[in-house]
Each structure stands twice: as structure tokens, then as C-alpha cells.
Amino acid sequence: MGGESSHLQAVFTPEGDSGARWISHQLAYEPGRAESVYSDDGNGQWPVKTPEERNTTLNTATYTPASGDYTVRTVPSTQEGYRTIEVTFADPNFRGFIRGGFYAPNDYEYPKFDIETTVEKRVARFTYREDSYFENSELIAKVLPHPDMNARASSVKLTGDYRRGGDYSVSGTFTVEGTAGQAPADPHAVLPPVKRPPRRPARAPHPLRLLPPPRPAQNQPAQHQPPQGQPRVSLPHRLQRPHPPRRTPPVMPAPLMAAAKDPRRAP
């Protein structure tokens, strides 16, 4: 993230008709500091160019693809024992990312082997080593448009029973928002509020316990007791019964001290 402060934004790109496009508000970033933003906080504005000599000039304009068609296929690699997944897009200016992988049958939470690459000049490629580990797997490719694309995500399944050396091919189409050269129809649609779990109430402090006064021992006079209804304050033992101060013997002059030590010596 870098060692200096900055501002970040998140863009949610839905797949198909499963939701609405959402742009978060700017999030202040400071090294070592945690911040958060939620969809029910509303929609932010698409960033604009800010004059700053230290910044790299980036194009913040959005682009609407002319077509959402694409093709995914597996082809032999130039390296022996490897194969390549190749994704080709109809629009030469499309930008985005390819995710997915080899999944266990009917288990789509985490892939057995991840696929991750980027689209460059309308084509994305990912090379992997042929292995028996991939046998009987489902091969799925996911297209994630770049946030500045007026398009939605899409996914296709090449096969539900992968075999080494097999040639697989499938065509897909992602949804294009608006028409080419125009902004999406509803770029700031509000998503439904997100239900957050209730906050746990703070723990109440433990109540103080008032101890009853101790009973006096037999053959000892009872100590002074506080009036009825007042709490008893317990003091440390050394404050309850202070020791009497030590008596320091008087300092005798030197001749008298010598006489006291030797009684045969005359004063």
C-alpha cells in the first residue's frame, strides 16, 4: 500500500443480474491505521483527475465495450507437459482479469488449483502443468472486468470432467451496461442495506461487596463498631495496630563510654 497517506475506493462489479454496481466513498489510508466502508453508507463519486506533480497520470474515463462476447479454450503449450488456457475477447479494448480454476465436483467455494491472469490486447493466457491431480475436476473460468469498464462479471464452465490432454472450448458473454461510448444506465444504483450483527453490550462492572464486621474474640474487649447501616472499612493490619516507636539510647560522651566499659578505670 505504500508508506505515505492516500485515498482509496472500492468498486463492486456484479455478475449478470445478481446486483447493482456500487462505488464506495473515498477511504483515507494511513500506514498502520484501519478504516472501513459499507455499501449502506451510500455511493461515492467516480474519481477525477487531481493536479499533483508527484502522481502518475492515469486515465479515469470509463469505457463501454462494443461487445461482451468472449471464448475460452485449452490449447497445447510450447513447453512439453504443459497446457494453456486462452481467453479471447471480441472487443480489442476490453480490460479485465481472469480468475477461476479446477474445482472438485459440486464444490465451488475454493478451487483445487487457482487460475489468475490479466487481459492484454484482448487476450488472456494462463499456462499450467498437466497432472493427474486435475482428473475428474470441473474447469471454470471467471471474467472480471476492470472497474473502469461498463460491464458485469461473467463465468463459464469448460468441462465438468477434466481429462489430461483434452481440448475444451466454450463461448461466453458478459453484460454490457449502456451502449458503446456512453456511461452505464445506472452507475450509482443503491444496494439494499447490509444487515450488521448487533453490537455486544459492554460488561457491567462487578458490584462492591461489603463485609460484615468481625466478631470480637473471647476475653478481649470489643472494638469500636460503626453505626448500624454504615459499611465497615477494613484497614491494613499495620495501620490497625501501629508498633510503638523505637527508643534510641542516648549518646554518651567518649570518656564516660570508656569508663562504663572498664569499671577498674577511675574517672
CB of 96 closer than 8 Å to CB of 70: no
Predicted local confidence at residue 247, as pLDDT: 60
Predicted local confidence at residue 30, as pLDDT: 82
Cell 493466457, residue located: 125
pLDDT tens digits along 217-229: 555 555 555 555 5
Q: Strand (E) positions, the chain? A: 6-8, 11-12, 22-23, 27-29, 69-76, 82-89, 96-103, 113-118, 123-129, 138-145, 154-159, 169-173
C-alpha–C-alpha distance, residues 40 and 25, integer Å: 11
CB of 50 closer than 8 Å to CB of 58: no
CB of 158 closer than 8 Å to CB of 141: yes
DSSP letters spanning 20-64: --EEPPPEEE-TT------GGG---PPP-----TTSPP-----B-
Predicted local confidence at residue 239, as pLDDT: 45
Listed residue (163, 146, 46, 61) closest to 97, CA to CA: 146
Predicted local confidence at residue 124, as pLDDT: 96
From first CA to last CA, the distance across the chain in angstroms is 94
Write out the three cell numbers for 212. 460484615
pLDDT tens digits along 168-198: 999 999 999 876 544 444 444 444 444 555 5
The angle at the Cα of 192, spanning 14 to 148, to the nearest 5 degrees, equals 30
Predicted local confidence at residue 12, as pLDDT: 80
Predicted local confidence at residue 45, as pLDDT: 78
Phi, psi of 132 (to 5 degrees): -65, -15
Write out the three cell numbers for 56. 502518475
C-alpha–C-alpha distance, residues 156 and 165, integer Å: 20
Low-confidence ranges of the chain (pLDDT < 50): 181-194, 233, 235-240, 256, 258-260, 266-267
Write out the three cell numbers for 28. 483515507
